[in-house]
Amino acid sequence: MAAVLDSTVMAVQPETLIAAPTPADLEQYRRELTGYCYRMLGSGFEAEDAVQETMVRAWRATDSFEGRSAVRSWVYRIATNVCLDMLRGRQRRARPMEMGPSRLADPVHLVDLLPEGSWVSPIADERAVRDDADPAEVAEARDTIRLAFVAALQHLPPRQRAVLILREVLRWQATEVAELLDTSVASVNSALQRARATLSTCDTGAADVTSIGTDERDLLARYVDAFERYDIPALVALLHEDAIQSMPPYAMWLQGSDQIAAWMLGAGIGCKGSRLLAVHANGCAAFGQYRIDPAGGHAPWALQVLEITAGRISAFHAFLDPALFGFFGLPDHLDD
């Protein structure tokens, strides 16, 4: 006689569905989505816009959320599509060092401006990196928003860029990435292989930059003191001999502590008397630089991002965009 099967075994178990996300559910992903979009787009401002658009699209689509995938996967799919839309037809963002040779410290070179939207712009660590994770994970995340690494990512076609970030930076499984991009695991693995090959030819720079420890904090304190006193010999002593200075939106960039000193004492003399306020940008020490305001106090001038290698400053990037001050939570004027 055939065995009688237990009906409880044969019964089809109902699929467990996830409830539609609330605004609070979506908001918890804002910071990690900002980091993801920043790596995709190479612009702090555009990353913020992309995340805001993602939130709007997600909220409008909650009625169609079927609950068969996690909210995180669902919102990342939306963010990826937003970024791919924004990148369509765009030129690649880069650092000035990729767009032409270094120049001598001569103000004549200030006539050359980079095309709008062509340079990688900075982002505050607190907007793009979670600080409540394991310290090693936080340090790794900061490495992947370094200016050089983000610029290297821009060499990748947008979908390859998404694959590499999701797989290598965010540690998603190939099956998860394939589902997000509506493609096969084989296609994801192939895209990742091509992306790795391209990045191997780029200067990602991240591994060379030192995290901020006690020694680096002492170096930065001496940098602030030298810059605010405008003691150029003392400042130059903190630089590597082949240190780099860039000043987006100007195409001109300088290499060598002697050229940086010549600039500071020549065309850059207007920085004398500046004040610096500390922030963190792109996994590095950064400062809001305020120049003397003829009307009184100090006015925003540049967002400085410093890279430290082997105990000295190896790069000094001054983004001459006062709009960055509000973006970094810095005051719009110093009344002193």
Q: Is residue 65 situated within a structural domain?
A: yes
Between CA 245 and CA 260 the distance in angstroms is 7
Domain shared by 149 and 260, yes or no: no
Q: Which residue has the tokens 């409830």?
A: 19
Within the chain, which residues score under 50 in pLDDT? 1-16
Using one digit for the tens of pLDDT, what is the confidence trace for 43-70?
999 999 999 999 999 988 877 766 556 8
- What pLDDT, on a 0 to 100 scale, did the predictor assign at position 208? 66
Which of 177, 206, 235 terminates a domain? The answer is: 206
Instruction: State if pTM tops 0.85.
Output: yes
Domain shared by 200 and 316, yes or no: no
Domain shared by 162 and 219, yes or no: no
Q: Which residues neighbour 240 within 8 Å (Cβ) at sequence distance 6 or greater?
A: 257, 309, 310, 312, 313, 314
Number of independent structural domains in the chain = 2
Structure tokens at 37: 């979009």
Domain shared by 286 and 190, yes or no: no
Between CA 328 and CA 147 the distance in angstroms is 16
Phi, psi of 101 (to 5 degrees): -75, 160
CATH number of 167's domain: 1.20.140.160
24-31's contacts with Cβ under 8 Å and 24+ in sequence apart are 25/71, 26/55, 26/58, 26/59, 26/71, 26/75, 27/55, 29/71, 29/72, 29/75, 30/55, 31/126, 31/127, 31/128, 31/129, 31/130
Contact status, residue 142 vs residue 283, Cβ threshold 8 Å:
yes
- What pLDDT, on a 0 to 100 scale, did the predictor assign at position 212? 67
Which of 159, 181, 206 terminates a domain? The answer is: 206
Which of 206, 221, 248 terminates a domain? The answer is: 206
C-alpha distances (whole Å) from 4 to each of 8, 10, 12, 35 are 12, 11, 17, 57
Domain shared by 85 and 157, yes or no: yes
Q: Which domain holds residue 274?
A: 208-327
Q: Is residue 2 situated within a structural domain?
A: no
Domain shared by 166 and 279, yes or no: no
